[in-house]
Structure 1
Amino acid sequence: MRSIRFKLSALRPVRFLVAVCVCALLVFSNAFPAYSDPVNPTARRSAPEQGEEQLRSIEREAQEAAIETPYSQEKTQAKANEGLNEIQGTADIDKMKRPENTQATSVEEKSKNFLEALTGKKD
């Protein structure tokens, strides 16, 4: 029984150290959330005024749509065909991932390239 108590009491500094590390992680993750961009850290940032103007125009159109009578089916389809949806239009359409602007490789292509690199043969 004494050996179990001794081993558990030896773990107290480790528990304290883990608790301090977790608290520090929580503080820093709450203090600096905007600095992390895991997808593309070197991405080009737009000016805040440019994004704010786009948001204001989208908000204005959304408010107008909410105040007016509901759109007819033809008007909704016409607005939706202008861009991403009837409110957003074509805002940031160039930043959106679509099959036309992505260079995805299939599993078959990846395995073929791997086997060619492994054997040194090209078909």
Structure 2
Amino acid sequence: MKFIHPSKSRLARFFVGAFLCLMLFVSSTVPAIAAGSSHQSSPTKGEAKLDQTLEKSQEVLKSPPMSLGEVEDRSNKGLNEVQEDADANKMKRPENTNRSTTVQEKIENALERVTGDK
């Protein structure tokens, strides 16, 4: 049996290491590229202002702790016990986004494409 010469071994380790570094770099940049292509945003628009949410949160922070009944009442009114329904119309949800598909719908579509059933 012939053994690999030490210089060829070093060269092979170098190429394996370089390849692994390249794969780490590519795998860390692909999600950023994929996220950028599916959602086009306007750079002048910025984040949605959630002023009512901020006000409600500050009120809760200044007030004493709520009892269980108060928490249940407030959480039944909206999104949660702090925000209630403040700025609910500005938040992204499946009900208020167009062309949104759930994970379940994406899986069903992929299975339909694979199996050919509709």
- TM-score (normalised: structure 2): 0.50
Task: Return the structure number with greater relative CO, CA threshold 8 A, min gap 6.
Answer: 2
- TM-score (normalised: structure 1): 0.48
